[in-house]
Each structure stands twice: as structure tokens, then as C-alpha cells.
Amino acid sequence: MGIVLQYPLEKEKESKDLFSRNIILVLHKNEEKRLAEPTEPVIGMIGAGNFTNQVLLPALKKTGARLKSIASSGGVSGTYLGKKYGFEESITDVDKIFNDPEINVVFITTRHNSHAQFVCRALEAGKNVFVEKPLAITLEELEKVIKIYNNSRKQNSPNLMVGFNRRFAPHIQKMKSLLDDIKEPKSIIITVNAGYIPSDHWTQDPKVGGGRIIGEGCHFIDLIRFLVGYPITGVKSTVIGNYSKVEPRSDKVTFTMTFADGSFGTVHYLANGHKSFPKERVEVFCGGRILALDNFRVLRGYGWPGFKTMRLLRQDKGHNDEIKRFFEAIKEGKESPIPAEELFEVTRVSFEIEKDKN
């Protein structure tokens, strides 16, 4: 038995293409493979990280959609997840996903600095797109996405979806139904016990992860935007003071947004707490009433006729329902469950908050 180790040439090492090698492994051969109906989701997945494995693919599996191709840069993680969840093939060349006429939905779960470019390529190929947050990490990327999205809508009308799952959580849907009956401005406070991530982690790198406000804080911008139901008109942010033992500072931030109806929302995004404390709390004050959601487990109402408490046996942040609603829109030829204008607005506001706190 012999083992041959082949090392890349220097020119190959310098390649900026994460998916530079063309490797295709057939995982589940379907002898009776049929062409999918135009509205039946056929999935091409780009990215095979922990979130994809632990959250997204279990939700996808429940839908019964056809999982055709999964692409990862090295091929190993993609092959593992492909076998685990029933993909037909594992590949390393993303061009195959964009060029495959059968694939009509592209899922993008790679590092943040690649999201916008993959979204643009998928839209240009006329495919529906689900991208994990953030949609983009720079204003230039966002403007390019908007331009290509608008052009694609004129030609073949693909849907664009960002993984803002919290607005689909059962507790949030209940809050929204209660708040829609209150016409006066709302005051919303979200406290996020974000947890420590070292400054050298890729999510903290503005050029790779965009930083934690753009990379994760956008969830809470979208959540307040959804609960209020009106456009954001202004932002103001404050970052923790400069102290030698507090590093990084950029993930210890409070930001406030104002809305067209007079509402305001404040997010305390704090990475200097303790993991024993619940991660997320949402409080809404309006009309002499209060709603308080603790860590997506228990929702309590104060002063609401006919409503006091909503409990779930297990935490549900809406991942299953966001996928279900997205697929329903594709099958029925409807608009994406989150209007594209809100996706663009939330992304742009995340840039404004990041800029304001610096």
C-alpha cells in the first residue's frame, strides 16, 4: 500500500477562490430521478459549517424538499453532511450549483464576506436565494445586491430571503398579533447577553465577518422593525468606554432606533456578561400594557385582556417556520415572506449603527 501526498503549488495557494477544486462525489443515486416541477424546491447548499449542520439542515429535512448538491471548500464537511441529510452529491465547485438547471433554490451559509457575491451570482442565474445573515457587510456590496435583485425581478422574479428567523418564532408571532391592535407608538427594549468571542475570531474581523453588530446584531434590528411595522428613521449608538481590560469594545454596544410612527427600539448588545444569564429578553411597552419574552421560552403579558402567559416545552426561534414560509412562497408563486425592501433597510441600518459607534 502506498500513500501519495500532493501539495499545492505556490500559485494555487494564492488562489482567492475558496471552491477552487472540482470534486464531485455521488452520495445518493436515484435510479428513478425525475425532473422537478418548476415550483418544487430543489436545493443547492453552499457551506457546511456547524450552524448548517445543527440548525438549518434539520429544518430543511423536515420540508421534504429535494436536496441535490452541497458544496464545501474542502469537500470533507460537505460529504459528511451530504450523507447525513440525504443530498444527492457533494461538490467543491460552486459553479455547478449556479449552472444546474434543476436547482432552483440556493442556500448560502458561508463566511459573511462571501454572502453578497454568492447572492448576486444566484440571482443572475435566476434562482431563489436563502442567505444566512448578514446579506452584505459593506454598503458597496449591498448596492450591488439591490441592483442585481431589481434586474432579476424584471426577468424571472426569483425570491430573496435572509435568515432573520426570530420574526417567525411562535412567541414573536403572538406578540405581533397583540401589538397590531395597538395603534399608538411602541417602546421596545431587547437585551442580548451575546457572550464573549475573542478579538482574533473571524466574526470580529470587519473584512471577513463584518463585526458582531453587522454579523449578528442585524437579527435584533429586524426583530424590532417587524414588531413596530414602520420604517426606521434614525439611529444612535454608544459603545463601552476605552479601558485596557475590555477588548474588544465593538461588541458591547447600546443602539436606539426611531421609527416613522413615533416608536423607538433600544438594543443592549453586550458581550461582557455571564453565560448563566439568559441570552435574549424582549420587552414591549405600549398602550398601558407590557409584553415580556424571556429567552424564547416564556412570554408574559401585563394588562392584556385575555392574555397572560404563553409557554413552550422547548425554545423555538423560528428556524423551521422561516424555511416553511419561504418554500410556500416559492411553490405558490408568492412574494418572499420578508419584503426585500425590509431586508435592504435592515442591512443598511446595521451599517449606520456600526459607523455611528466608531
- For 182-201, the pLDDT digits (tens) are 999 999 999 999 999 999 99
Distance between CA 112 and CA 133 in Å, rounded? 8
The burial of 26, by beta-carbon neighbours within 10 Å (0-12 exposed, 13-18 middle, 19 or more buried), is given as exposed
| Residue 76 pLDDT exceeds 50 | yes
Q: Which residue has the cell 457572550?
A: 195
Q: Which residue has the cell 408563486?
A: 333
| Residue 38 pLDDT exceeds 80 | no
Report which DSSP code applies to 64: T
pLDDT at 327: 96
Fold of 165-357: Dihydrodipicolinate Reductase; domain 2 (3.30.360)
Same fold yes or no, 17-162 and 165-357? no
At 219-246, the pLDDT tens digits run 999 999 999 999 999 999 999 987 766 7
Fold of 17-162: Rossmann fold (3.40.50)
Distance between CA 72 and CA 77 in Å, rounded? 7
Q: What would the grid cell of residue 226 be?
A: 417587524
Residue 70's SS3 state is strand
CA distances from 30 to 27, 67, 87, 106 (A): 10, 12, 11, 21
* Alpha helix stretches (DSSP H) within 89-128: 95-99, 115-124
Q: Which residue has the cell 418548476?
A: 38
The number of residues making up the chain comes to 358
Every domain of the chain and the residues it spans: 17-162, 165-357
Query: What's the alpha-carbon Rg for the chain, to the nearest Å?
Result: 21
* 130, 105 Cβ separation under 8 angstroms: yes
Q: Which residue has the cell 459607534?
A: 357
Q: What would the grid cell of residue 265 be?
A: 427600539
C-alpha closest to that of 285 among 273, 301, 271: 301
CB atoms within 10 A of CB 64: 10
At 302-329, the pLDDT tens digits run 999 999 999 999 999 999 999 999 999 9
pTM: 0.89
pLDDT at 30: 56
Q: What would the grid cell of residue 171 be?
A: 412567541
Nearest 10 degrees: CA dihedral of 70, 205, 202, 134? -40
pLDDT at 248: 83
pLDDT at 13: 46
Q: What would the grid cell of residue 80 be?
A: 459528511
> Where does the pLDDT of residue 278 fall: very low under 50, low under 70, confident under 90, or very high at 90 and above?
very high
C-alpha closest to that of 176 among 291, 263, 264: 291
Average pLDDT over residues 101-115: 97
Average pLDDT over residues 264-284: 96
Mean pLDDT rounded to a whole number for the chain: 91
| Residue 100 pLDDT exceeds 80 | yes
